[in-house]
Amino acid sequence: MPFPASTRTTASARSTLRRWLLPVVVLPVVATLAVLAYAWPAARIAPRDLPVGIVGTGQASQRMVEHLTSAQPGAFDLHVYADMRAARSAVKDRDIYGAFDVTPQRVTVLEATAASATVAQSLDLAGKQTAARLAEPVAVQDVVATSADDPRGVVFSSALLPLTICSILIGATVTVLGGGRSRWKALVAVAVASAVAGLGTYLVAQGLLGALPHHGVATWAALSATVLSMSLTAAGLARVIGPAGAGVTALVMVFIGNPFSAVTSAPSLLPTAVHHIGQALPPGAGANLLRSTAYFDGHAAGGHVVVLALWTLLGATTLFLGRRAAPVPAHAAREVRGAAEVRGRSAA
């Protein structure tokens, strides 16, 4: 018995609605949220408890402290050092981003462009304002500088997004192509691919562009660990929920992890919640680990190593313990479709 015309029209309308829902509604909403995730943190960049040093406890240093705390309340977390040597050591150890030494003769600004070119610019400005107010000259010392071939750290920051995307593709591809076969083989494949991707990234960033000039092996290890943490996360989710696992991983790593990573600024310049979320995800932890290994002799790397290790462990656990429903065999799927067609012709 054929269906009434009104019923067929309603079914057709629903089918059309479902067909156009994704491109017309869902994807524009996703695009809007992606723009928000990238643009909002960038528009809210400002120092928040930024670790900065003050050299000495004299009257001039006290005036500097008063100026910094009154001009931008809550912007700086000030640390006092006895002399310039101690302040320079603190910058090299990544305890602080820079320091001010104010004397009756000059204002000296210590900075580290390798830690953050954006912060270095802010410290330069603060030093010049103080020097102008005191009618004194200003001297700037870049304690830990970026490579001369990449003075603003552009290569460093530009590499994170493509590295994130490729990491997700590695993990998802290994799981999808491997099907339900050996999880150990999948783990080894992801590990090898991560090491190769890390090496390739290092060869481009340093061998071709000269942007990562120090501690080559440690830098390669940092890049590989970053790729591995994201690849295994994607592999584990793809094991549990299929190819959609790559989409879920991309949502977390690309649309949250990358804009919240502070790779183009510094974690202490982002809103507090964004700061903590970003450093708890592999893109942010990996970017900061790379700074530590490439420029700061590994100082302040421990927390970032822990974050990457936890994500790697989580991905490996999901890969090994996750269960996925067995796919419907192709011949069975054909039989189901054929039966449905027969019933449809009989009904007509």
The structure tokens 């580290």 sit at 112
Q: Tell me, what amino acid is at 126?
A: A
Instruction: Return the bridge partners of 98, or none.
Output: 52
Q: Of residues 278 and 181, which shows the higher confidence score?
A: 278
Task: Give the pLDDT confidence score for residue 42 in this predicted structure.
Answer: 83
Mean pLDDT score of the chain? 87
The pLDDT of 36-48, averaged and rounded, is: 87
Q: Of residues 7 and 35, which shows the higher confidence score?
A: 35
pLDDT category of residue 325 using cuts at 50, 70 and 90: very low
Whole-model pTM: value is 0.85
DSSP state of 45: -
- Least confident range from 162-166, 221-225, 304-308, 331-335: namely 331-335
Distance in angstroms (rounded) separating the CA atoms of residues 234 and 167: 8
Task: Give the pLDDT confidence score for residue 34 in this predicted structure.
Answer: 81
Q: What is the pLDDT of residues 169-224, one digit of tens each?
A: 999 999 888 765 688 999 999 999 999 999 999 999 999 999 998 899 999 999 99
The pLDDT of 281-288, averaged and rounded, is: 97
Q: Is the pLDDT of residue 341 over 50?
A: yes
Determine which helix (DSSP H) or strand (DSSP E) holds 50, and give its type and residue range.
strand 50-55
Pairing of strands 98-102, 50-55: parallel
Q: What is the pLDDT of residues 117-156, one digit of tens each?
A: 999 999 999 889 888 888 889 999 999 999 999 988 888 8
Nearest to 69 by CA among 49, 89, 90: 49
